[in-house]
Structure 1
């Protein structure tokens, strides 16, 4: 192409006409792809593309408005139940309620503006999902990386698009639908493998009303370390929960609640953390953490970052003792 242009210029000069300018032979710059086009070009995001098409969000994610999208991989979608677990099943959805659910899940991955990973702060970000439960929570642990809602990791950051930026993630983000109290109640009343039955009994005692109120408030923002039934049995021995005095029960339960916000496992670090009933000690244990009160065995966090509408729950295997 360049040699042809030089030949033409030589011919023009030979005819006594004005010579060609070097700038006439410019190299066309490739047009930057938008968010949807980027996803379409990545085989690991084919399920996301199918979901965006089914939820009628192609236009939204292809426009000129600057957006930040957290993009789940195919493996991330495969962790969900059908029909949301792969591209084929998503494409086959006809139920309007399922489509509406899918659309809200996808919008829960979209925030306003072009926010690079380095500019993300350890704070809440409002997404385009339906309010009021449309915040996602970013953690940036000292060990490095970016995490969303505690369990979801950004695996590839800062994929630039013409209308924003894409961060690839390893889980699908799910908007919370239950308060902490509702999570405890639902698990305690499960038909198979019920859990938290003793915790629920404890919370239902009149003396524990303030703590239950905090766990049930839709406007709250708390962190709860939730002991399993086995943890309570280890504390009680052969005694019944009813034998624990109101004062002791309140002291125990208060030591399990951080009242100052959502503290995800990715926000924890060795040291002390203030609860409603005094400090607890956080210690590293392998890839996780333990929580210990004034005495007794340190509790392992066995299931972390259960997101609620009013906070977050960490399941623990020992009751935290106040004294």
Structure 2
């Protein structure tokens, strides 16, 4: 991690500021620098007036919206899905309802009512798996504003590879071998190799997680694998000088590592997750500092 942290520190010295979304407590947010399209030549859509728009859905550990993880095909193991609908600044307070459905069910699996404050330019809403991961299936989200359907989106959490006649513990043990190699690469500061090995382990971890979620530390191992993959992509973005994308990936790495460290039970493995959590937080701090430089 030393080379990556040093590179991030260099970005602090050379990068200009980037303006991000400002979140409100109810999930609404403002994007101060965004340029909005107009209707004709004079008037922009408000949420209630716009035709049905597209809601973007990303997956994460802590419920944050992650632009680099917006996808219609979500890998198994996601703890949360977060939908975002962006619109022209609201002229007045408006009631909003967000509904999530699984596999085309008429009955929503989640309903959230809120009020969009005047001036807000978007709304986020998340669904989580509670104490575990979200089940595989097709997730549809709708944003209903002022009683009118304003936006919709969909993503599918893909089922992991079937384990066939193998026992879940056998599949898990094989994946753990790749994770041990990934952590060894991480200890040698080879984040590219660590991420590649973690990506190789991920399908087996996901299969075992679905078949036997009670296996020892399997959720922690799953989150640690995603943290290493995110760190690899953070380093790639840093090498390309893209502080915005690097920060997005570092945020994901820190979230995954934090969850892994929070749920890990095995003492030896927890030493790794604690180190991973500390490293990713420090990297994120440096990248946020880079964004704050004028």
TM-score scaled by structure 2? Answer: 0.25
Normalized per residue, the structure richer in helix is 2
Normalising to structure 1: TM-score of the pair?
0.23
Which protein, 1 or 2, shows the higher relative CO under an 8 Å CA cutoff with sep ≥ 6? 2
